[in-house]
Structure 1
Amino acid sequence: MLYPVVKSDKYGFINSQGEVIVEPTYDLVGRFAEDRCIVEKNDVLNLEHDRLQVYINSSGKEIIPLKPCCFCTSFSQGLAQFEVVNGKVGFIDTEGEFKISPQFEIDYEGEVSLGFSDGVAAVALEEGWTYINQEGEKILDIKFEIARRFQDGYALVSPFKQPYQTEKLFFIDKKGQRLETIPCKINILCQGFRNGLCQVILPQQEQETELNKIGFINTSGNLAFEGKFAHSSGFNEGLCIVKKFPDKFGVINTLGEWVIEPLYEEIGWFNHGIAPFRQNQQWGLLNASGEVILPPQFSFIDSFIGYLPPLDPFHNQEFRELTTATIAQPVKKNQPGKQVYINRTGAIVSSWEI
């Protein structure tokens, strides 16, 4: 895996030791997933297609020639969305060959496919969203107004609304059967099930603090465990960052037990057992047992999970050796701090512009 850097407004890549693998020549880059990364060059001489995109691998090799494309995505389960000149979208494999022919809409009400998970993907048609398998075959005849990724066997959907209808979001399985749940509300930003659990808004009791209303259901639709929170990151790696008002942030496991006591001002997402945390306005690193790996010393540390696609920060969550950190520059007021790459022990690896 490589990590983007900038020089003279051009992007290149370094490896986990800080060595330059791809010289800065691109105008825009994405993040690596499944040994592939989207890169872009501007074609100022082409008035019709001024953006040329391609995928490179972790050796910096361009897998297919640069070509006009505005709607390509990161790879997930070996496939990536790719637009062709006629405005239709299909899915290519990691060598750039179409495995599902271009036949889907570029967007539907401003959205595009979120990629494959659990072997299926939501795709946009003229009449709404549906789901296909990795051969491009529809698995359901139903069309939806909202269709999220399948995770743990279920996807969050919403049917088309009739006049004065207020149908809410609900879960379906791959046969289109609705999951019956305890009384609860599902937020539009909900990321669905992960590690067998999904956060929901539970009914409030009179004696409860209004802000503590987030609970969890399991894939049977039942309450997973007692306890309500004011904030939840959703589960990943068997862990969930939560906060009860007016307490600080801590981490629970899938049984609802504290594995890291609520002692911190903020905790970032975990990536293979490592997460950033904030204490006394400074950031450090801790592991999944709550042991401090790096005492707080940076003005900010990002999570190791890399680029965050909409509604699904753990999509293509691969092991990452580097993340970005910011060194405060107190002498220069109102000036951003210097960004560097640090490794999983907190050591600075590269001070390239990021």
Structure 2
Amino acid sequence: MRKFLYLTTMLGLFILNGCSTKKEAIVVSNDKGYILYNLNDNNTGQNVYEQVSSLNSVDENNINTEHLHILNFHWLHNHYGKLYSIVKKDGKYGIINDEGKFIVKPTFEFISKLYNDFFIIKEDGKYGYLNDDFKVVQKPIYLDAKEFSNGIAFVKFSNEKWGCISDDMKVLLYGKFDGIFPFINSFARVINDDKWGFINSKCEIIVEPKYNYVNNFCGDTAKVLLNDKVGYINNKGKEIVSTSLVYGQNLNE
């Protein structure tokens, strides 16, 4: 027999977890999983989910759906006024609205939080993107994928190297590097075969990986290390202080 929480308990969770919406949608649990109820709609509450992962607002982080034991009851009004939640059903992830209807069918192995207008999705071991209209704008074809920032995302291509795509899903830089670090001051450090270099905010290579290590840019210059000697480069990748100084300090200083 299903054991539903008493109304007072539900309201307590409702208050503690900030579950209110304009349509009074709440989440309750029974012995089989979690159920969404819209108190204004008698047709909700028919689907049982293994997980209900929710969002607070378009500018805040969703819970990490990799931690399947965590349940967050917070709901999101995105900038189109839609309410939705990421759910897990029959081992797959999808997205429902506050009426409990699927707006993204549960076919994915993973759906990330919404960040800068995109969800990262995973299907058959490959990664792609879903936009905030819940449309697949990039079928899962990449070995890995990162969040978009300033219109650019780093993705891992079939050659197991990292490159860049734009937010209209065009390839800006085909897989070239073993790793790409986040943009700092409009430049990102890249590494290949244990050598370091830089790309700019257009994913153009300004320094091929050749240094033993590089610092992030500070203003228009970055400190670099080559063969235990320190130098400086400008934002065009040109050495303005040759790597001829004896390395006798921490490169981060």
Residues 260, 289 of structure 1: 8 Å contact kept: no
Is the partner of 2:197 in helix, strand or coil? strand
Q: CA deviation at 1:344?
A: 3.6
Q: Who wins on radius of gyration, i.e. which is larger?
A: 2
Distance across 1 between alignment mates of 2:141 and 2:74: 21
Instruction: Flag structure 2 segments of 5+ consecutive residues without an equivalent.
Output: 1-12, 28-51, 85-96, 98-102, 242-248
Distance across 2 between alignment mates of 1:171 and 1:298: 47
Distance across 1 between alignment mates of 2:185 and 2:74: 30
Q: Which residue of 2 is the match for residue 47 of structure 1? A: none
Q: Which residue of 1 is the match for residue 108 of structure 2? A: 184
Which one has a larger percent strand, Structure 1 or Structure 2? Answer: 2
Residues 191, 234 of structure 1: 8 Å contact kept: no
Q: Which residue of 2 is the match for residue 287 of structure 1? A: 200
Residues 251, 259 of structure 1: 8 Å contact kept: yes
Is the partner of 1:234 in helix, strand or coil? coil
Q: Which residue of 2 is the match for residue 46 of structure 1? A: none
Q: CA deviation at 1:128?
A: 4.4
- Alignment partner of 1:156 out of 59, 62, 86: 62
Q: Which residue of 2 is the match for residue 198 of structure 1? A: 119
Counterparts of 1:99-118 in structure 2 under 5 Å? Answer: none
Q: Cα distance 1:245–1:167, how it changes in 2: closer, same or farther (>3 A)?
A: farther
Q: Which residue of 1 is the match for residue 219 of structure 2? A: 321
Q: CA deviation at 1:193?
A: 2.3
Counterparts of 1:51-66 in structure 2 under 5 Å? Answer: none
Q: CA deviation at 1:345?
A: 4.3
Q: CA deviation at 1:269?
A: 2.0
AA partner of residue 199 (structure 1)? I
Instruction: Flag structure 1 segments of 5+ consecutive residues without an equivalent.
Output: 1-124, 132-137, 159-164, 205-209, 305-319, 331-336
Distance across 2 between alignment mates of 1:193 and 1:283: 28
Q: Cα distance 1:177–1:325, how it changes in 2: closer, same or farther (>3 A)?
A: same
AA partner of residue 193 (structure 1)? Y
Distance across 1 between alignment mates of 2:120 and 2:73: 13
Distance across 1 between alignment mates of 2:221 and 2:16: 38
Counterparts of 1:1-354 in structure 2 under 5 Å? Answer: 128-130=16-18, 150-151=57-58, 156=62, 172-173=76-77, 177-178=83-84, 179=97, 180-182=103-105, 183-186=107-110, 190-194=112-116, 196-202=117-123, 204=124, 210=125, 213-271=126-184, 273-301=186-214, 321=219, 327=225, 344-345=235-236, 354=253
> What TM-score results when the alignment is normalised by the length of structure 1?
0.40
Q: CA deviation at 1:281?
A: 2.1
Q: Cα distance 1:272–1:221, how it changes in 2: closer, same or farther (>3 A)?
A: farther
Q: Cα distance 1:282–1:166, how it changes in 2: closer, same or farther (>3 A)?
A: closer
Q: CA deviation at 1:235?
A: 0.8
Over aligned residue pairs, what C-alpha RMSD do you find? 4.7
Q: Which has the higher contact order (CA 8 A, sep 6+)?
A: 1
AA partner of residue 108 (structure 2)? C
Is the partner of 2:104 in helix, strand or coil? coil
Residues 285, 292 of structure 1: 8 Å contact kept: yes
